[in-house]
């Protein structure tokens, strides 16, 4: 949703529609129209400070992509590539770091300890 409010929106939209067209050609035109309608709603919501509407729109698009992935799980890597290479770069620096997934793995054995944090971490005690 954040990419919809950027100056590079038309290029981002074109990439998304083209991605969709190459995977589900029968749905690409609808996706393009739906993206334009969602952009109008996002811009209005931001102007009014309506975070609930923006979150609802994000949820609706999340569901749409989840449905696509449930129909064709093999698209997961391609979708991740689309997000990382085309949508994330359209965001501001603050939004890019905010939306990045964090994957952490750790293994502790015997008497060892593992401390993992996605951001700040404060440890007190022994």
Average pLDDT, the chain: 81
DSSP category for residue 41: H
Measured CA to CA, the distance from residue 31 to residue 35 in angstroms comes to 6
| 24-72 per-position pLDDT tens digit | 899 888 998 998 898 889 889 889 999 899 889 888 988 988 998 899 9
103 Cβ neighbours under 8 A, 6+ residues apart: none
Taking CA atoms, 64 is separated from 5, 12, 42, 61, 71, in Å, by 20, 18, 17, 5, 11
**pTM given for the model:** 0.63
Measured CA to CA, the distance from residue 89 to residue 8 in angstroms comes to 10
Helices (H) and strands (E) in the chain, counts: 5, 0
């Amino acid at each position: 949703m954040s990419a919809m409010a950027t100056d590079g929106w038309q290029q981002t939209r074109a990439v998304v529609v083209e991605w969709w067209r190459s995977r589900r050609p029968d749905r690409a035109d609808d996706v393009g129209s739906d993206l334009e309608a969602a952009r109008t709603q996002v811009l209005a919501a931001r102007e009014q400070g309506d975070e609930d509407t923006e979150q609802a729109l994000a949820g609706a698009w999340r569901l749409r992509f989840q449905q696509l992935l449930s129909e064709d799980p093999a698209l997961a890597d391609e979708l991740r590539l689309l997000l990382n290479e085309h949508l994330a770069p359209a965001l501001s620096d603050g939004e890019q770091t905010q939306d990045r997934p964090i994957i952490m793995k750790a293994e502790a054995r015997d008497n060892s300890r593992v401390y993992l944090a996605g951001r700040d971490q404060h440890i007190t005690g022994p």
